[in-house]
Every structure is written in C-alpha cells, then in structure tokens.
Amino acid sequence: MFFFRDSWYNVQRIKPRNPGFGRNAFLAIIIAHFSGKRKTDPGRILGEPIGDFMTKRERVKAAIRHETPDKTPTFFHFAYDGLTKYGESLWERYGRDDMRKLHAEGKLEYRNALYYSMGNHVCFLENFPWWDWKDLPAAYKREDTPDFIPGTRDFGSMEVFASSVRYLREYTDAYILAEVWTSDFEKAYFSRGLEYFLADMAAEPEFAMELLDFITEKNLSILEQIVRTPGLDGVLLGNDWGSQRDLLMSPQTWRTMLKPGAKREYDLIRGAGLDVWVHSCGDIRKILPDLVEMGADVLNPVQPECMDILELKRDYGRDLTFWGGISTQRTLPYGTPDEVREETRRVTAALGEGGGYLIAAAQGIQADVPLENICALVDTANEL
C-alpha cells in the first residue's frame, strides 16, 4: 500500500538511536496496521526501547498529550482564494505521485492529496452530514426580534463520510479530523445577522436562548452519528467569539448563553474517545479557563496580533495544544521569505516546547501571501 511505501521512506531517512531499528521496524508498522493496534513507536512492538520513528498520526496525538514528538507536526490550511491562486503551483512543486493517483481514482479529496504531499500531519473532512437554514425569510435579518425558529435542511451522507475516513486511514498515516466550521453561535448569527443577534442576546435573551438551544439539539443529533465513525480522531467546532481586541460579548453572557451548549457538544465528542478542537478568531483570553475546564484539547487559530502567544503557552500550555500562531496579517503577506523562516522557527520553538503545537499559519493562507513565502513556511516547517 502507499502507506507502507511512505513509511519505509521515513524509516530510511531517520538516523536511528537503536541499532536494530530499520527493516524490522517497518515490519512492525505492517503488523500494527493490520492488527489495528495503536503503538507509539515500532520499537515497542519489538520489545526495544522507544525509537525515533513516529507516524504522522502519532505525532499529532503526542502533541495533544503534551509529549514531545520526534518532529513537530504540521497542519497547513488555505482559504479558498489562496488555494485557487496557488493550488496548481503547489501541486507542481510538492505533489506526490501516489497522492495524484489516489486523487485521480476518487479516493482522496484534492485538498487532502495536496496538503498531505506538502507535509500535513492532519487530513480533514467536511463531507459529513450537517444542516443549514432552509428558505430563511428576509424579514429574519431585521431589527425586530422574530417570534419563530426558521426551517432547516439536512445535507451530506454518513456513507460517503465513512468511506472518506476509511480511505484516509488506509492510504495515509495522518490524523483524521472532521471540521464543523459553523457551530452554535455562528449558526445563530448567520440566521439573524451578527449585529441583530448580539442585540437579541442583550435585549431579548429568551429568544436568543431558544434559538441557541434549538441549534445545540440539532447539532447533537448529527454529532452523535459522526463521532461513531471508525477511524475518526477528532472533531473541530468553529465559533468566532472574539474580535481583534476582546470577546464580542461579555464573559458572563458567554458563560450563560453559549457555554452550556458547547459543553454538551464537547462532552459528546470526548465521550466517544475523540479530541475536541476549537476554532475561534480573535482575543478570547477571558474564556480560555472555561475552555480548559470544558475539556477542549486544541485551540485555533492563535492569532499573534490578538493574543500574546508566549503568554498563552505559559498560562495554558499544559492544557491546550495550539494550532496556528504564524502571522497572516503581517509576516506572511508582507515579510520576506527569510522573515517567514525566522518566525516559523521562533514560534515553533516557543509553542512546541514540551509538545502541544501544530505548525501552521494563524489563519487559512490567502491570495495576498506571495508564493515564495508559502514555500518558505512549508519547507521550514518540514525541516523542524
């Protein structure tokens, strides 16, 4: 399989500490793969001390456990405009023949085939069943608070999603993540408009809670299916609670209205043995203790313009794994390749100490980032 070919390449390129580490370790990987047993290192299967080689999935899991992997894992992400502009050039520079073949056969989605070729340790999926508002009336986004909950529509297929997870598990050694970018708060303000829903939270809290409770129940009914998918490692829930300077609402309002539903969703994910990934743009430092208490494992995007990343590591590095941290507002779009390399090394050294970090830009890379800066980030990250 392609997984084995890639694994043997990794075994060959790493200089081992254990004299016996080599082709026998590769055979151990095969045994572990077919037996379904997760091993931190092939040397453990053979009764040797822990060796140098770890799969990409194991590196991510180690980072989340706040252990130091043999290499800091990477998880690059592109915004739509960035991928549209640079996808072909990146595919030409980094595309692997096996990933090209799997994509051509319909077994891997384009982005995962490309990003895995670029060194990504995480493969993500967005083709799971989910839901959206149906026939939302224009009047719903007006100042007057509605007196009803709009209709919904479901989309996606569990069979298609499960098949995608199975292919990723069969043909890659990546950590597999389901990404739900619009969860409770975003679903609510997508229906009402951000300003009007924030006004609802302040002036019409009963309606705001009714809408949020409806969204949570709908989310949970589908998440219950998603988390049972064999081979899945984690679930990301996206809610942009922050602005560049602070929360969009008071911490007390967040704790009263948004925390209970999010906690139920985190509990469901953790109860299935999966990791909880949280996305929120902006400065959300005031609720980070809550996220830790609720059981969040990974925090994204970690924008250095909004929060001091050294303070985050000092105060929450024992509990949260950080994904992001490399500036998409300054260095990547406006710096030189050398400045991108320096920041990548500096941020990785700071956030990756003792595990707990996935190398990435703070946000999805957009079209304003020069191609040479993207390659400087990718190449440097893959060296670390």
pLDDT in tens, 296-325: 999 999 999 999 999 999 999 999 999 999
Res 40: pLDDT = 35
| Between 298 and 49, residue with greater pLDDT | 298
Asked if pLDDT for residue 347 goes beyond 70, the answer is: yes
- Percentage with pLDDT > 90 across the chain: 85
Same domain? 42 vs 104: no
Q: Which one of 53, 69, 91 terminates a domain?
A: 53
Q: Which one of 38, 53, 68 terminates a domain?
A: 53
Q: Which one of 53, 72, 90 terminates a domain?
A: 53
CATH number at residue 345: 3.20.20.210
CA distances from 91 to 66, 74, 78, 268, 380 (A): 33, 17, 13, 37, 18
pLDDT tens for each residue of 354-367: 999 999 999 999 99
Token representation of residue 137? 């009336």
The structure tokens 């190449």 sit at 379
Lowest model confidence (mean pLDDT) among 22-26, 62-66, 163-167, 172-176: 22-26
pLDDT tens for each residue of 116-173: 999 999 999 999 999 999 999 999 999 999 999 999 999 999 999 999 999 999 999 9
Same domain? 141 vs 12: no
Same domain? 258 vs 343: yes
Asked if pLDDT for residue 207 goes beyond 50, the answer is: yes
Same domain? 99 vs 117: yes
Same domain? 89 vs 10: no
Arithmetic mean of pLDDT over the chain = 89
If one counts the domains in the chain, the total is 2
| Between 3 and 187, residue with greater pLDDT | 187
Same domain? 73 vs 49: no
Token representation of residue 236? 């990301």
pLDDT tens for each residue of 74-104: 999 999 999 999 999 999 999 999 999 999 9
Same domain? 46 vs 71: no
CB 244 within 8 A of CB 306: yes
Same domain? 172 vs 317: yes
The structure tokens 């079209």 sit at 367
Asked if pLDDT for residue 370 goes beyond 90, the answer is: yes
Mean pLDDT across the stretch 56-80?
Answer: 97
Asked if pLDDT for residue 56 goes beyond 90, the answer is: yes
Token representation of residue 247? 């929360």
Token representation of residue 251? 């911490």
pLDDT tens for each residue of 158-173: 999 999 999 999 999 9
pLDDT tens for each residue of 236-269: 999 999 999 999 999 999 999 999 999 999 999 9
Concatenated DSSP letters for 61-74? Answer: HHHHTT---SS--B
Res 21: pLDDT = 33
Res 53: pLDDT = 83
- Which domain, by its residues, includes 42? 2-53
Same domain? 7 vs 78: no
Q: CA-to-CA distance for 180 and 128, rounded, in angstroms?
A: 9
pTM of the predicted structure, to 2 decimals: 0.86
Same domain? 15 vs 70: no
Using CB atoms within 10 Å of the CB of residue 13, give its burial: 0 to 12 exposed, 13 to 18 middle, 19+ buried: exposed
Same domain? 23 vs 121: no
Token representation of residue 176? 């597999």
Same domain? 159 vs 39: no
pLDDT tens for each residue of 262-284: 999 999 999 999 999 999 999 99
Asked if pLDDT for residue 38 goes beyond 50, the answer is: no
